[in-house]
A and B are shown apart, each in its own frame.
Chain A
Amino acid sequence: MNFAFSDEQEELRQTVRRFLEDKSPSAEVRRLMETDDGYDPDLWTQMAQQLGLQSLHIPEAYGGQGYSFIELGIVLEEMGRVLLCAPYFSTVVLAADAIMNVGTDAQQGELLPGIASGETIATLAFTEPNGKWDASGIEMEATADGDSYSLSGTKHFVLDGNVATLIVVAARTPGSEGADGVSLFAVHGDAEGLTREALTTMDQTRKQAKLEFSGVSAQLLGSEGAGWDALSKTLDQAAVAISNEMIGGAQFVLDMAVQYAKDRVQFGRPIGSFQAIKHKCADMLLEVESGKSAAYYASWAAAEDNDELPVVASLAKAYCSDAYFHAAAENIQIHGGIGFTWEHDAHLYFKRAKSSEILLGDATYHRELLAQRIGI
């Protein structure tokens, strides 16, 4: 039994932290969040070439480094701290995991090396205008068309869907229902018949798009009807990953709040000496530390790929969503008027906390999933 990061993992964290503090300061986040694409292609290349971040947990056979979800979690936690604007979560977590979970060896060999090298930006398109996160939300139909398939319908809330060159799409065999008949497909970003609309997002640091498919030719990944198991596992892995990202942001807003509580003086004393403020900070600390324990444990379960993964993925997503939102909200309150300004970064974290909570299903959704998964 041992619940600590190895020295090597701690070193990775320090390296990534230094890199991101240097490359993604607040001014840069604010510049990129105002752009349509929402990321800096040069930085994306540096991430791949200098630090190998995109290739981290991809197997060596496919151009990756073969690290585990624990290392991936560390990197995401650091990205969450600085609100990095980049299609990392969509590419490396959602798309790459879906491909690894469903693709044949040949398909993985074809698609993963581009992701690992930073050439491919990819995403997973599975949600639709109905806004559901489970299998019943997948209404798009895939009709067989010789060796290939043809997709028609709408995908909504697709992370980085406007910049992705590779889109993994979930669609179903006509007439099927629920988890049955769901398959995953690979579609090129500029495929014929695909119209992409960049959406204005409440959390401007993470972009979304709406994708209209009208008879888009698609490559089936794995076998027909095997999509839901792979997708469900991908969503569990993604829940673990986003939990780590969220807890990085939560720690950062706690640090911000505590610093301000030490500096700001009212009634002749630092506001942090008032119990109303001090106790808020203490509660945030409790939740942030507990969120870390949950997120790290979930990373381990994902790395082991063991039976616990579905349970701890929902557990971590539910807890970390609440913890981050609570911390981000209290941070605004502790800052007073300045916390309500556009100029202060508090709102960026507040919005990221909410958008991350919504993504993949909110805390209520995941508590219900957790109840089902533990047999209640």
Chain B
Amino acid sequence: MDFRDSPEEAAFRTEVREWLAENLTGEYAQVGGGAGPADDTSWDIRVEWERLLGKAGWVGMSWPEEYGGRNASIIEQVIFGEEYAKANAPSRVSFFGEGLFAPTLIEFGTEEQKKRFLPKIQLAEELWCQGYSEPNAGSDLANVQTRATLDGDEWVISGQKVWTTFAHYAAWCFAVVRTDPESTGHKGLSYMLVPMDQPGVTIAPLRQMTGSAEFNEVFFDEARTSADMVLGEVNDGWKVAMATLGFERGTAFLAQQLGFQRQLADVIAAAQERGKSDDPVLRQRLAGSYAGVQIMKYNGLRMLTNMVRKGVLGPESSIGKLYWSTWHRDMGEIALDVLGPEGALAAPSPDGEYDLNEFQRYFMFSRSETIYAGSSEIQRNILGERVLGLPREPR
């Protein structure tokens, strides 16, 4: 047990710190970490920043070198994330591409597919969206009804996806679709890569409780993609889809979690500025929240050490998603209580639109975090059944 950087880790940390100090300037430095991966504030400037990161090799740093990566270890990714969060660098736009799709592609893709897609993810030339959920397939993802049939050397896709975050920015969608028309449940599904810019794809924004519209309905009406745009085997997409969910519940939110410390520090500072930090009840909540975010880090380090040493994730890994989403939601509530009457006013917006201030963003966006990427109830089922071995519910 040792929490200090090894000499190599310390050198890497210095490299990251220096790069950020040199490059995180001007407009980039104004953007800040934001409320999380589903918040599209300052989008354009964040895309530019992502390109800069990509050119410097900080996007896809864990990928093998042959695909432009640095083969970075998980510890190096943590160090990068820590320094990135400390510097309050912009929230990343490539959550779906770099965070979810790329690791799945590296595990299941053909050589051609990897060469085709990874460089464009790295340079933010193509952004991605995740086409899983449908009106009747949410937690019960295996109930997907969107269908694809082969027509010569192309798949023809029809159906509807919903809650598709950043579909309007995405060049591509990784979608779970039914390719065996006779099948039900998790059999007969395929993991299909669909270009978004085509006549068969219609994107309709859905306004969220935040006032903004980061997620969308996506309608496929005989949309097309070429026959080789399936990841893994045709009709065997469930396991690929689950691998993506594994990354989503495991490492994809690392950067987000590392940013939480800064968010809480802002909340504490605000409480002190407003003279509220003398209130004994608020002190309890702030200290509890501080304990919570530290423990989140310790849990993460335990998980990563196990992964590195034993190559498998221990039970502490499956608690991660439930833990961080619940913690963040609680912090959002504290943040709003710190604001007091100010919290009841929307943020001043130049064009008179409904807008949120930063604490309101934490408060609201965190409501979605206990729903997406496997709701808290689904996480508890997983913990109960897969980790503790409790009997499944009768279905």
State the A residues within 8 Å of B (CB): 1-6, 70, 258, 261-262, 269-270, 272-275, 277-279, 281-283, 285-286, 289-290, 292-294, 296-297, 299-300, 303, 312, 315, 318-319, 364, 367-368, 370-371, 374, 376
Q: Which of A282, A294, A370 contacts B380 (CB 8 A)?
A: A282
Determine whether the beta carbon of A278 is less than 8 Å from that of B384: yes
CB distance from A261 to the nearest CB of B (A): 6
Determine whether the beta carbon of B394 is less than 8 Å from that of A273: yes
CB distance from A71 to the nearest CB of B (A): 11
Residues of chain B in range 259-293 having any CB-CB distance to chain A below 8 Å: 268, 271-272, 277, 280, 283-284, 286-288, 290-291
Determine whether the beta carbon of A318 is less than 8 Å from that of B291: yes
Interface bin, chain B:
35 or more
Q: Which of B295, B305, B384 contacts A294 (CB 8 A)?
A: B295
Determine whether the beta carbon of A293 is less than 8 Å from that of B390: no
Q: List 23 A-B contacts (CB under 8 A).
A: A3-B1, A4-B1, A273-B393, A273-B394, A275-B377, A275-B380, A275-B381, A275-B393, A282-B381, A282-B388, A283-B380, A286-B319, A286-B322, A289-B315, A290-B298, A292-B302, A294-B291, A318-B287, A319-B291, A367-B284, A367-B288, A368-B280, A376-B268
Determine whether the beta carbon of A318 is less than 8 Å from that of B391: no
Given known A-B contacts A318-B288, A376-B286, A1 and B2 have beta carbons under 8 A apart = yes
Overall SS of chain B's interface: helix
Q: Does B9 contact A (CB under 8 A)?
A: yes
CB distance from A282 to the nearest CB of B (A): 4
Chain A residues closer than 8 Å to B394, beta-carbon distance = 269, 273
Given known A-B contacts A2-B1, A4-B309, A262-B389, A370 and B291 have beta carbons under 8 A apart = yes
Closest 5 CB pairs of A and B: A278-B384, A293-B298, A282-B383, A272-B390, A282-B380
Chain A residues closer than 8 Å to B6, beta-carbon distance = 1
Q: How far, in whole Å, are A286 and B288 apart by their CA atoms in the complex?
A: 16
Interface string of B212-251 (1 = CB under 8 A from A): 0000000000000000000000000000000000000000
Q: How far, in whole Å, are A283 and B323 apart by their CA atoms in the complex?
A: 10
Determine whether the beta carbon of A1 is less than 8 Å from that of B290: no
Chain B residues closer than 8 Å to A272, beta-carbon distance = 384, 390-391
Q: How far, in whole Å, are A374 and B277 apart by their CA atoms in the complex?
A: 12
Chain B residues closer than 8 Å to A278, beta-carbon distance = 380-381, 384-385, 390
CB distance from B332 to the nearest CB of A (A): 19
Q: How far, in whole Å, are A286 and B389 apart by their CA atoms in the complex?
A: 15
Q: Does B5 contact A (CB under 8 A)?
A: yes
Contacts between chains A and B (CB distance < 8 A), count: 152
Q: How far, in whole Å, are A282 and B323 apart by their CA atoms in the complex?
A: 11
Q: How far, in whole Å, are A3 and B3 apart by their CA atoms in the complex?
A: 7
CB distance from B76 to the nearest CB of A (A): 10
Chain B residues closer than 8 Å to A262, beta-carbon distance = 389-391
Given known A-B contacts A275-B393, A281-B388, A286-B319, A315 and B291 have beta carbons under 8 A apart = yes
Q: Does B210 contact A (CB under 8 A)?
A: no
Chain B residues closer than 8 Å to A6, beta-carbon distance = 1
Nearest CB in chain A to that of B385: its residue: A278
Chain A residues closer than 8 Å to B65, beta-carbon distance = none
Interface centre among B290, B385, B393 (most CB of A within 10 A): B290
Q: A5-B1, A282-B379 are in contact. List 12 more A-B contacts (CB 8 A).
A: A2-B2, A3-B298, A272-B390, A273-B391, A278-B390, A285-B315, A286-B322, A367-B284, A368-B283, A371-B286, A374-B287, A376-B286
Q: How far, in whole Å, are A278 and B283 apart by their CA atoms in the complex?
A: 33
Nearest CB in chain A to that of B390: its residue: A272
Chain B residues closer than 8 Å to A2, beta-carbon distance = 1-3, 305
Determine whether the beta carbon of A269 is less than 8 Å from that of B391: yes
Determine whether the beta carbon of B9 is less than 8 Å from that of A1: yes
Chain B residues closer than 8 Å to A289, beta-carbon distance = 299, 315-316, 319
Determine whether the beta carbon of B380 is less than 8 Å from that of A279: yes
Q: How far, in whole Å, are A294 and B291 apart by their CA atoms in the complex?
A: 9
Given known A-B contacts A5-B1, A315-B291, A371-B287, A293 and B299 have beta carbons under 8 A apart = yes
CB distance from B242 to the nearest CB of A (A): 20
Q: Does B139 contact A (CB under 8 A)?
A: no
Determine whether the beta carbon of A4 is less than 8 Å from that of B393: no
Q: How far, in whole Å, are A328 and B324 apart by their CA atoms in the complex?
A: 24
CB distance from A27 to the nearest CB of B (A): 28
CB distance from A59 to the nearest CB of B (A): 20
Q: How far, in whole Å, are A364 and B315 apart by their CA atoms in the complex?
A: 29
Chain A residues closer than 8 Å to B388, beta-carbon distance = 258, 281-282, 285
Interface centre among B271, B283, B381, B388 (most CB of A within 10 A): B388
Given known A-B contacts A285-B383, A289-B315, A370-B287, A273 and B298 have beta carbons under 8 A apart = no
CB distance from B268 to the nearest CB of A (A): 6
Chain A residues closer than 8 Å to B143, beta-carbon distance = none
Determine whether the beta carbon of B283 is less than 8 Å from that of A290: no
Q: Does B306 contact A (CB under 8 A)?
A: yes
Chain B residues closer than 8 Å to A290, beta-carbon distance = 295, 298-299, 319, 323
Determine whether the beta carbon of B298 is less than 8 Å from that of A282: no
Q: How far, in whole Å, are A319 and B327 apart by their CA atoms in the complex?
A: 14
Interface string of B64-86 (1 = CB under 8 A from A): 00000000000100100000000
Determine whether the beta carbon of A367 is less than 8 Å from that of B291: yes
CB distance from A70 to the nearest CB of B (A): 6
Chain B residues closer than 8 Å to A277, beta-carbon distance = 390
Chain A residues closer than 8 Å to B299, beta-carbon distance = 289-290, 293
